Each structure stands twice: as structure tokens, then as C-alpha cells.
Structure 1
Amino acid sequence: MGLARRALLLGAGGLVAGAATGCSGGGRTGAGAAVVTRSSGPLPTTTAWRPDRDDVDPAVKSRAVQVVEAIGAWPAGQGGAAAAKRRVAALGAAPALVDAAGPLLPDADEAVLQVIDAQYGGILADSASVLVVCRQWTPGHAGGTTVDVRLSRARPHWEVTALHPARPGAAAPALPAVAREVLAASRIGLPPAAAADIRSGHIHESVLRALLRLAGTYRMYVSVIRSGHPLDVFGTDRPSDHPRGRAFDVWQIDGHAVVDPATSRRLVETFMWDAAAAGSYNVGGPVRLSGGARGQFFSDATHHDHVHAGFSA
């Protein structure tokens, strides 16, 4: 299953990359309810996203992705908030969620959406944050966003309670050389919101230099840098390093999803050690490493599906 899923990943990645004028693309694929597909025409064909069967709770991610797909993709003639509310209602979710969709609902006659990844922003017994990272195309435009989807446990589905789309801010008039290097680096996959974060000029130099250093050894796909992440560490009142531009998350290393049990634990562990060597004071992932500075490494359910690297300065 791991080999087949990675083959699908590479196929979808190549397709999406070509449609996005050279940007890196990808995403785990599979069955879903609300993805618009096209075999020809100006908009690319997309594939629905599927959680890994060994995920902490696949159902919570599936529910979050269903709602984002329902809002962000529609066939010709079915654009607008009213139509999006009908699609969301058909899923048994609250139509009012559409009112907070923001960049996920551009003014266009038609749209397709590709979920690149869905990772936890936090997961507790009865509540969760799922960060749905996506690209979106409308006629004549390629874009995308990351949506912090909040959920509460309910029956028969997890209930989506709120949407918080990324708001990276305007591009800075000038960027330092290190930011331009990251944006141009072929070994660093950046989804739309993360790339916009860097273009905004709000990402700390320590983050950018660490990304470049890691790219000397690995091909990696970033999920989240600054925008689209919860302001506080989920379930606490402690500010997260992400909104301050001092952290990044990676969901894929050398073509292998961190969440995939077939991915080499040695690969993930080595990447975590190298993130620490690149200056991260706070490295989290699916494996808790021993050694390093006090409290430098951690692991929990939230970080089962990605590697987090935080920076203090």
C-alpha cells in the first residue's frame, strides 16, 4: 500500500506542479466527496485526498477536508456563497461556515482544488485543529491557501465548528537575499500560503537559513510556516512560534510522507537531528529523540504526521 500510495503521490504531484507554472505540487490522494475533476480545458484535473490508515484519527482529517473541498471547488455556473452553502449543507455541516471561507471562495464561475496535505494543528479527545493545505485554480488564475479547520467530536461525524483561512499579508517591496533563495530553491516545496508568508517579509532569518541548510541534504515539502496555524499551541494559552514567523512544519521528506508507517524512521529521526543542528530549539515529530538540550525534542499525537522546527531568535 505504501508503494502504491507514493506512486499516486508522484503522479498527482507532477500534474499539479505543471498546472502551477513550475511550483512544486503534491498531496496524498484518494476518495472524497466534493472534488471537481476535469480531463481537459483550462483547469487541471485534481484528485481527492485520503488520510493515512494509520493516522491518529483519520475521520477527523477526512471531515475537515470534505468541508474545504465542498467550499473551494465547484463546476461551471455554481460559484458564489449561496451555492457553496448548499454543498456544505449536503455534507451535514453548517452552511454558516461559508461566511468565514475568505480566500477559499473567490469570485469565479468555476474552480478546482487540490488538497496537498492535511496535518494536525492539534488533536485532543474531543476537539481538533486540522490544517488543510491546498492549491486552487479558477479560469486564468492559480492560487491556494491553508485553512485551520476547527472540529468537535460528534456523531456520526466530527463537527466542523470554525474555519480560519491563512492571511499572509501583502508582499514586501523588497526581500533579503536569504528569503529569495528559499523561494527559488527547487528542493523546498512551498504551498501557496507558506510562499506568501516568505514574500511578506515576516519570516525570521533563522527559519529561512535553517530551510536552506536542510535543503542541502533533503528534498522536503513544507506544510505551514506562519499563516494558517493556530495562534496558540492547541489546547493551551501558550503562543505558538508559527504566527511569529519563527517555525516551520514539514510533512514530506525525500518524497516520503512523515505519517506513512512505511517511511523510514531513521530518515525522520535524522531529519529531526539535522533540524536541531540547523538551530531549532524545539523539534517535534512522530518519534521522541533522546539527547540534545533539555526539552529540545518532543513527540505527541499532534506531531504524528509532521516534523516541527521552532526557533527562539
Structure 2
Amino acid sequence: PLAPAAAEASLEVIVAQYGGILADSASVLVVCRQWTRGPDGSVAEGGTTVDVRLSRAEPRWAVTELHPGDAGPAAASPPSAVARVLAEPRIELPPEAAADLRSGTVHDSVLEAMLRLAGPYTLSVSVVRTGHPLDVFGTTRPSDHPLGRAFDVWRIDGLAVVDPGTPRQLIESFMRDAAAAGSYNVGGPVALPGVGNRFFTDDTHHDHCHVGFDH
């Protein structure tokens, strides 16, 4: 997807976040926006999210695989909430995530939670369905992302989750509000108490918040 048959192309990496990290292997999700120039001079905007796999090596980690996302074609009649999310200025979606919504494969629970969280926050979404590992990295458990039941947020109110200067109170508040919006599985860089292990933190989620749903 990032090597089109175009005379010119320009690429922006919006964000790179962990899809998973272990002692000797990692998944980094590289969220890209791309512009291509056609023969008539017109410019088209697109992009994808690439699941970059790495293996520990010396003197630096080595890239071993690239898995670009492919959201597929837009649905003829996507859920009505899709248009509301796409039109909401407080929800920032990269190209692959927007294509996921247009494909009609994202559950209403995700769409409604995005809209609810966009009341008190501005959300910069990184990944929704495609471009994410199929299984929770390092396990055989299916991830909620490819099922259209999760989204990741890398920036809240313009502040990066990974930035040590971002107030922990803001991230904690967002995680609690995500749970109140119906998420059964909220991950992030801080540990929060909750009934039924609703909240979690680990090395993978120190740079984003994960909001997952079971339906």
C-alpha cells in the first residue's frame, strides 16, 4: 500500500506505538498518512497502518516482517453512528482507522464509546481494527481489534499518552470514563483498581490507552 504506481508520493508517520513487546520480539504499529500525485497533477490522500515486527539483535533490533493493514471497501450502508464519528471534530482518525469505520466492520459499542468520550476529551485514535496483530502479542488469544471491538488512543486533548509531562490525572480520568462508556478491558500506562480486573497496564500500553469491548 505504501508503494503505489504514482509519479510522486509523500508520506507522514502520524505515530508509532507498540502492538506488543517481549524480551526478544516486538510489534510496532506505524500509523501512516500518504499523498500521491496522479498523471494529471491531482493529489489523492490515503494511508495505512503497518504492523512492523522486530527481533532483538546486536547492535540494534532488526525488522523481520511488515504487515500493512487493509480495511477493504466501504460498506454500502454502514451503521448510522459511523457518519457521526467521522463528522466529530473531537475524534481524530488516521486513514486506516477511518477506512475501518467506513467498511462497516466496527461494532456499535466502539462507535458509541468514541462519541461519548468525545464530549469531555479530544481523542487522537491510532488503531481500530486493521493494522493490529490478530492475537494479543505473544499469546494465542484473539485480540479484540481485528474483531472490530476495540480502539487505541495515543493522544488525549493534544497530549501524548507516552509523554511524561502529560498529567497522570488526565490519563486516569480518561481510562475511568472509557470503562463508564462500556469498555470491559481498559489498558494504559497507569494501574487503576477496578472490579473484575477491568483495568490493566503493561509495557505494551505505556504509550497508548486501549479500549476494548466484549460485544
TM-score range, shorter chain: over 0.9
| 1:252-302 deviation per Cα after TM superposition (whole angstroms, max 9, x unaligned) | 0000000000000000000000000000000000001012x2110000000
SS in 2 for 1:137: strand
**Considering only aligned residues, what root-mean-square deviation do their CA atoms show, in Å?**
0.6
Give the number of the structure whose residues are more often strand, by fraction: 2
1:179 deviation in Å? 1.1
5+ long unaligned stretches in structure 2: 38-42
Equivalent of 1:119 in 3, 12, 17: 17
5+ long unaligned stretches in structure 1: 1-102
Equivalent of 2:96 in 180, 193, 210: 193
Identify the residue that residue 165 of structure 1 maps to in structure 2.
Answer: 68
Q: How many residues align?
A: 210
1:142 deviation in Å? 0.9
What is the CA–CA distance in structure 1 between the aligned matches of 2:47 and 2:103, rounded to whole Å?
A: 16
Identify the residue that residue 31 of structure 2 maps to in structure 1.
Answer: 133
Moved over 4 A (4+): none
What is the CA–CA distance in structure 2 between the aligned matches of 1:277 and 1:295, rounded to whole Å?
A: 14
| 1:67-86 deviation per Cα after TM superposition (whole angstroms, max 9, x unaligned) | xxxxxxxxxxxxxxxxxxxx
Identify the residue that residue 246 of structure 1 maps to in structure 2.
Answer: 149
Identify the residue that residue 58 of structure 2 maps to in structure 1.
Answer: 155
**TM-score, length of structure 2 as denominator length:** 0.96
- Work out which structure has the larger RCO, using CA pairs closer than 8 Å and 6 or more positions apart in sequence: 2
What is the CA–CA distance in structure 1 between the aligned matches of 2:44 and 2:60, rounded to whole Å?
A: 34
Identify the residue that residue 294 of structure 1 maps to in structure 2.
Answer: 196
What is the CA–CA distance in structure 2 between the aligned matches of 1:238 and 1:288, rounded to whole Å?
A: 22
**TM-score, length of structure 1 as denominator length:** 0.66
Identify the residue that residue 172 of structure 2 maps to in structure 1.
Answer: 269
Q: Percent identity at matched positions? A: 70
Where in structure 2 are the equivalents of 1:56-135 lying within 5 Å? 103-135=1-33
Identify the residue that residue 137 of structure 2 maps to in structure 1.
Answer: 234
SS in 2 for 1:294: helix
| 1:233-270 deviation per Cα after TM superposition (whole angstroms, max 9, x unaligned) | 00000000000000000000000000000000000000
What is the CA–CA distance in structure 1 between the aligned matches of 2:25 and 2:191, rounded to whole Å?
A: 24
1:110 deviation in Å? 1.7
Is 1:203 equivalent to 2:101 in the alignment? no
1:176 deviation in Å? 2.0
